[in-house]
Homo-oligomer: A and B are copies of this chain.
């Protein structure tokens, strides 16, 4: 079976024109049952596969969309990427994956449409880009932003209500009677909207409860990995007054913090309650299990692709940028309740 064979070769074998073969393949015009069968046989015998490059060149579309995320190996983005790839396949799209590693330059390059117009659209989860960049850079192709807002409405946006969610998480800790609540996950050096919003929700909840904020309990991190969560937790435990609860801006940070608590002999949740954010699989099997804010990832994936499809298939008239808020819920588990809820 030859690896490559063209419409022309199939046509020659079936004794018809190349155009007819094309019609059979795409079902784009009426073809008699007899001809169709003859062509189909030739296709099977030659093992013909349409050439995507030629098709794209002709049609101006590639059927490929890009997915740009900070890191594939992070559980949250891994889970999300998995869902997005599946959802894309449902729509007959293939997905190209690009890791930005939180590099602003890499993110900016993607926005300006580098890469040779392979992609029909782009789903990007910006982490390092400032709102400023997003505003000034004209998107060169249909684009959906995950998490970060684009100020000028240049692209669709799909995200949870971070402020409200962080507020809920913190309020949950307050309800348990905790008052010395620390936060782990600020990223002041990046103009990271997501971290800022979660910090805002955290402060709002404290303010409403009349608990005075303590700047030394708002810990910054260099990355979102477990290691950084552990480091921040160590700093908190080494500080003057130890907190009795921690709200970590991601589950990875939370698990890192939990690890450090174990290492230092601090009992979770008795002496230290922990809440995370993302609801990654690990948190359901950690010891104790992790209380967390669970965004509806499946819906994020579905909505993001819906937006992209609308934009790609809309006949170049301006579709107004949508800003979709995805539902979330607080999942209470062992790290705040003592019972090993699953």
Interface residue ranges, A against B (CB under 8 Å): 1, 3-4, 49-57, 62, 64, 71-75, 78-79, 81-83, 85-86, 89, 94-99, 113-118, 138, 140-141, 225-226, 230, 255-256, 258-259, 262-263, 281-282, 284-287, 289, 340
Contacts and interface: CB of A to CB of B under 8 A. Distances in A.
B286 A140 contact: no
Given A75-B78, A116-B51, A284 B85 contact: no
A101 to B, nearest CB: 8
A96 B98 contact: no
Given A53-B53, A99-B86, A285-B259, A138 B73 contact: no
Contact of A4 (B117, B226, B230, B281): B117
Contacts of A282: 75, 255, 282
B117 A52 contact: yes
Given A73-B75, A73-B82, A75-B73, A49 B96 contact: no
Given A85-B97, A284-B226, A286-B286, A113 B49 contact: yes
B287 A259 contact: yes
Given A56-B53, A287-B286, A96 B95 contact: yes
B52 A116 contact: yes
Given A51-B57, A118-B94, A287-B262, A72 B82 contact: yes
Given A230-B285, A287-B287, 11 more contacts: A3-B140, A52-B62, A53-B56, A53-B57, A53-B117, A54-B57, A57-B57, A72-B72, A85-B98, A94-B115, A286-B287
Instruction: Count this chain's copies in the assembly.
Output: 2
B57 A116 contact: no
B3 A51 contact: no
Contacts of A3: 113, 117, 140-141
Given A64-B96, A281-B226, A285-B256, A72 B85 contact: yes
B230 A258 contact: no
Contact of A258 (B52, B118, B287): B287
A333 B85 CA distance: 35
Nearest to A79: B73
Nearest to A78: B78
A55 B118 CA distance: 11
Contact of A117 (B51, B98, B255, B258): B51
B82 A71 contact: yes
A82 B94 contact: no
* Residue of A71, A97, A140, A259 with most partner-chain B CB within 10 A: A97
Contacts of A78: 72-75, 78
Contacts of A140: 1, 3
Contact of A75 (B56, B75, B225, B256): B75
